[in-house]
């Protein structure tokens, strides 16, 4: 670990641990919300399936060369 620079302050270890715990809590919440979002997207797709649009086919060949 390097020593603090001129413009950097020293942060108490208790503050570092508190902030690390807060980051972990936010990461867990983000994971839960991401999973919830995926579940809701799947439910929406099941409720309203996308209509498949097929591209128009090529016109039939009249003659070959």
**Which 3 state secondary structure label does DSSP give 47?**
helix
- The CA-atom distances, in angstroms, between 3 and each of 6, 11, 48, 65 are 10, 12, 58, 81
Show me where the domains of the chain are located.
13-48
Give, in order, the Cα–Cα distances in Å from 5 to each of 2, 9, 10: 9, 8, 10
pTM exceeds 0.75: no
Residue 64 pLDDT level (bands cut at 50, 70, 90): low
pLDDT grade for 30, boundaries at 50, 70 and 90: very high
pLDDT tens readout for residues 45-58: 999 887 666 666 66
pLDDT averaged over the chain? 86
Mean pLDDT of 14-36: 98
């Amino acid at each position: 670990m390097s020593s603090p620079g001129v413009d950097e302050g020293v942060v108490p270890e208790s503050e570092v641990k508190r902030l690390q715990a807060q980051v972990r809590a936010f990461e867990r919440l983000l994971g839960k919300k991401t999973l919830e979002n995926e579940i809701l997207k799947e439910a929406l797709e099941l409720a309203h399936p996308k209509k498949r649009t097929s591209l128009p086919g090529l016109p039939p060949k009249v003659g070959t060369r």
